[in-house]
Structure 1
Amino acid sequence: MKVSNIAVSSLVSMAAVAAALALAGCGEAAKLPPEATIGPRPQLAQPNRTLIPTVNVATAVGWSDAAGPKAADGLRVNALARGLDHPRWVYTLPNGDVLVAESNKPPKPEGSGDGGGPMAKIRNWVMGKVMSRAGAGVPSPNRITLLRDADGDGAAEVRHVFLSNLSSPFGMALVGNELFIANADALVKVPYTEGQTSASATPTLVTPLPAGINHHWTKNVIANPDGTKLYVTVGSNSNIGENGLAAEEGRAAIWEVDVKTGTKRLFASGLRNPNGLAWHPETKALWTVVNERDEIGSDLVPDYLTSVKDGAFYGWPWSYFGGHVDARVTPQKPDLVAKAVVPDYALGSHVAPLGLVFSDGRGMPAEFASGAFIGEHGSWNRKPKSGYKVVFVPFIGGNPSGPPVDVLTGFLTADEKAQGRPVGVALDKNGALLVADDVGNVVWRVTRAKPQ
């Protein structure tokens, strides 16, 4: 019994030391210039695994008064709505109403604990503290709010709770007269009639989704153009499988769901944490943005934007950016590494891309007419910080054609505290860009600047 007590005490001490060092910002700083880790052929540094990972998360402080982010030249930004509660995702309905998923991480299932060995437990405990400081520790509102800009001035004067008592909702997709909602544990649906401001029906189950400990809990959903299939993202349950591969069953993947029957099949796998989904307007290819793995240096691994091929495997957890083997993962799987697809476009290391929408040429200047808007939530595992902005990746011929262009910046203060953090992005009925800001509790609206 004495040995057991010593072991427990040692574990607690290790956790305390790890937390203290991590929260103090220990770890290795980036050596590559940011532009080197961006594009179709990024420069990949050598892995640098340290006992204590680099921790450099921005403390959440919110916006003061009527402050907001800075728009790029030729653009202006205003608040569509302030005073929301952790808005994570935005979805525009055909009549122009905007749905906002106000949501946060669900509680762990009772008695679930954390998987993996002692170091995994320490890591999970430290990460809980870090994410709390980043603004992710507040209870989930578990609702969808409807916003309506009735007079067309760019600000919503109508606000209603559209649907409540959900389970950490995130993605939304309207197919015909049914609204599909991706909860943390299931895809559900409710009837929808154009113009209604609240849903009166109780959500019905379409299909369960992998849940549990929920290292990555956000689930997104998009319908194909003819409304017969839905595509649902499910992030991994760990960084590199340290909670055990059994906990990863059906995760790190995009699922295809039949709209009528709810039956599903694995569409693509090896995607550590896919979030935003969008159809390219010309090629009709499905694209996603993916958060890659952590804790092997500030310069690794680049998060990415990629088209998604049916049946493709993208490497996680055994390799990254194609066949670059992650030596931390055991047992190794060289057969899977050999077939890992190289992503189309690296966005930079640890920028945490979440939102994705393609522009359509309306409501924005010509330089933003063809390409993808991406909400970068911001890094925790990098020095200096990266992300914390909205960027635009130009496209030509269905593929990325140049470096990202900053669209919204200024989410960090001079002393690098987070006034806001961009998440979901969408276009409104006039082609303006909407941005959900979960730390600032705002939905921003970005448009062409008015002529002087």
Structure 2
Amino acid sequence: MAILTIFGAMALFLSSVVAQNCTALTPKAPLKLAEGYTAELILNGLNIPRDIVFDTAGNLLVSEQGGAGIRRVVLTETDGKVCVASSAQLIDDNTLNHGIAFSQDGKTLFVSNMASVFAYPYDAEAGTVGTKKTLIEGMRSGGHITRTLLTPASAPDILVVSRGSDGNIDNTTTDVEAGKSIIKTFSITELLASTAAANFATGGEVLGWGLRNSVGLGEDPSTGGIWSVENSADDIHRSGVDLHNDNPAEELNYHGLIKDANNPLKGKNYGYPACFSAWQTTNIPENTGITIGSQFGGIAGTPFENVTARQSMEDVDDFCRTERQGPSLVFPAHTAPLDVKFKEDGSAAIVAFHGSWDRTPPDGFRLGKIKFADGQPVANVSDTTAVEYIVENQDNTKCPGSCFRPVGLAFDKKGRLFMTADESGELFVITGV
């Protein structure tokens, strides 16, 4: 695959973000692009930008995790080049840390912090919000703090909320009623009409659980299928062997059609904390039957860690493969996928691999493209080449401190992909996708 290179120097960070007037900006870290793609930096100086979403007027809203709340970025176009006309704070709330979504009519903005989900009336033309209403609460915990939101076009009255585990290995999540490591759905109509906020653990319906930390949620517009990307565990051991550098795999998981009343995947358990997916199989002890993408157990500190004569490690692995829902695709360990978004025609999914500290050498820190057909990945679960990497760092050895780390993704109406990089405080537009 031919590679084009963008060389960049350290970008000047601004204490307050202002209009860029189509001035060419230099990325903080040198990037390399697959042939046929372009990446333009259109805004910098953002305060840990995370998830992003377009309003009905074509403005981009950015969730800033660095204590800034929600930012509204007004875009314009000059000779086919996307430019920032203005950028200003929309919601001043230093607890907001990731989640952001619009109702399908664009008149209600949903945002989240570690504990709660909120709704604001929103005027896209004026760029203003009304009075905040708390919709869901009861999610405060340690561990993973983001609460990702999705409002599927195929089910306009549904709000999807993803909550991760309380720590690396959270054995309380073996109980679905704990309301952790789980994706739930709520009726927007009921949430807005209620005088009291719903409790996350007891309210809503379970879409999937046994999901350690599914930060990225996406809908395939061509089918209405709901997908998530899973950040799996760190520092795992099995039978005294350290597996963590290449296991467990990160996952792409399918949750079916929310609009289908008979969705066979609704409520399925995807394995965590008892079962994990394999990326590299040769260093797994007692690995009979384990293949790339298959689930296995016996991880230290989890259920099934200690096996008995009546329950061999092979029995545990068989349970994980037959009694838990497996992934559709797997990715290298610790690449940390944080978002997944689909092309309008459903021909590809784009995944932001944020990258992780828990591997030598570092891995991730890149944007990947996965081919789809008929609502499913073209590749099978054991294919380690399913992802085409289209934007990468020129030098991953500088990661995570001095490289671009993609997070939020959003397509505009012209099919251009917008992407945040949180550590460098940047917003890019990518073409050729």
TM-score exceeds 0.5: yes
2:209 to 264, 269, 278: 269
Query: 2:394 matched to 1:447?
Result: no
Q: Match of 1:311?
A: 267
Q: Match of 1:426?
A: 410
Offset of residue 276 of structure 1: 1.3
Q: Match of 1:282?
A: 222
Closer/same/farther in 2, CA of residues 414 and 248 from structure 1, 3 Å limit: same
- Are the equivalent residues in 1 in contact too, given 2:365–2:403 (CA < 8 A)? no
Amino acid at match of 2:137: P
- Are the equivalent residues in 2 in contact too, given 1:63–1:419 (CA < 8 A)? no
Structure 2 unaligned regions, length at least 5: 1-8, 13-25, 192-202, 237-243, 256-264, 278-293, 306-315, 380-385
1:301 to 237, 244, 248: 248
Closer/same/farther in 2, CA of residues 412 and 250 from structure 1, 3 Å limit: farther
- Are the equivalent residues in 1 in contact too, given 2:228–2:254 (CA < 8 A)? yes
Q: Match of 1:230?
A: 159
Offset of residue 248 of structure 1: 9.2
- Count of paired positions: 344
Larger CA deviation: 291-300 vs 202-211: 202-211
Q: Match of 2:368?
A: 391
Query: 2:146 matched to 1:218?
Result: yes
Q: Match of 2:5?
A: none
Amino acid at match of 2:71: T
Matches within 5 A, 1:99-248: 99-103=61-65, 140-152=66-78, 153-175=81-103, 176=105, 177-199=107-129, 201-213=130-142, 215-225=143-153, 226-241=155-170
Offset of residue 438 of structure 1: 0.5
Offset of residue 411 of structure 1: 6.3
The separation in 2 between residues aligned to 1:247 and 1:96, in whole angstroms, is: 39
Amino acid at match of 1:80: I
Offset of residue 340 of structure 1: 0.8
Amino acid at match of 1:203: K
Offset of residue 82 of structure 1: 1.0
Amino acid at match of 1:386: D
Closer/same/farther in 2, CA of residues 324 and 99 from structure 1, 3 Å limit: same
State the TM-score, normalized to the length of structure 2. Answer: 0.74
- Are the equivalent residues in 2 in contact too, given 1:411–1:421 (CA < 8 A)? no
- Are the equivalent residues in 1 in contact too, given 2:97–2:112 (CA < 8 A)? yes
Q: Match of 1:406?
A: 389
Closer/same/farther in 2, CA of residues 246 and 142 from structure 1, 3 Å limit: farther
1:82 to 36, 41, 44: 44
Closer/same/farther in 2, CA of residues 266 and 448 from structure 1, 3 Å limit: closer
The separation in 2 between residues aligned to 1:189 and 1:414, in whole angstroms, is: 41
The separation in 1 between residues aligned to 2:273 and 2:10, in whole angstroms, is: 37
- Are the equivalent residues in 1 in contact too, given 2:114–2:147 (CA < 8 A)? yes
Amino acid at match of 1:180: F
Closer/same/farther in 2, CA of residues 324 and 85 from structure 1, 3 Å limit: same
SS at match of 1:420: coil
Larger CA deviation: 417-426 vs 94-103: 417-426
Structure 1 unaligned regions, length at least 5: 1-61, 104-139, 362-368
2:182 to 244, 253, 264: 253
SS at match of 1:329: coil
- Are the equivalent residues in 2 in contact too, given 1:351–1:386 (CA < 8 A)? yes
**CA-to-aligned-CA distance 1:84-143 (integer Å, 9 cap, x gap):** 11101111112210000001xxxxxxxxxxxxxxxxxxxxxxxxxxxxxxxxxxxx3141
Query: 2:56 matched to 1:94?
Result: yes
Amino acid at match of 1:280: D
The separation in 2 between residues aligned to 1:222 and 1:228, in whole angstroms, is: 11
- Are the equivalent residues in 1 in contact too, given 2:49–2:426 (CA < 8 A)? yes
- Are the equivalent residues in 1 in contact too, given 2:362–2:396 (CA < 8 A)? no
The separation in 2 between residues aligned to 1:186 and 1:411, in whole angstroms, is: 38
**CA-to-aligned-CA distance 1:134-153 (integer Å, 9 cap, x gap):** xxxxxx31411011113453
Offset of residue 427 of structure 1: 0.7
Closer/same/farther in 2, CA of residues 78 and 162 from structure 1, 3 Å limit: same
- Are the equivalent residues in 1 in contact too, given 2:171–2:303 (CA < 8 A)? no
**CA-to-aligned-CA distance 1:277-330 (integer Å, 9 cap, x gap):** 111122221101010111122110000111112110001001113641133235
Q: CA RMSD in A?
A: 2.6
1:358 to 342, 348, 369: 342
Offset of residue 414 of structure 1: 5.5
Larger CA deviation: 68-77 vs 330-339: 330-339
**RCO comparison, higher one (Cα < 8 Å, 6+):** 1
- The structure in which a higher percent of residues are helix is 1
Amino acid at match of 2:126: Q
Please identify runs of 4+ aligned residues in structure 1 that moved more than 6 A.
Answer: 242-248, 333-336
State the TM-score, normalized to the length of structure 1. Answer: 0.71
Q: Match of 1:55?
A: none
Offset of residue 80 of structure 1: 2.4
SS at match of 1:261: helix
2:358 to 381, 388, 398: 381
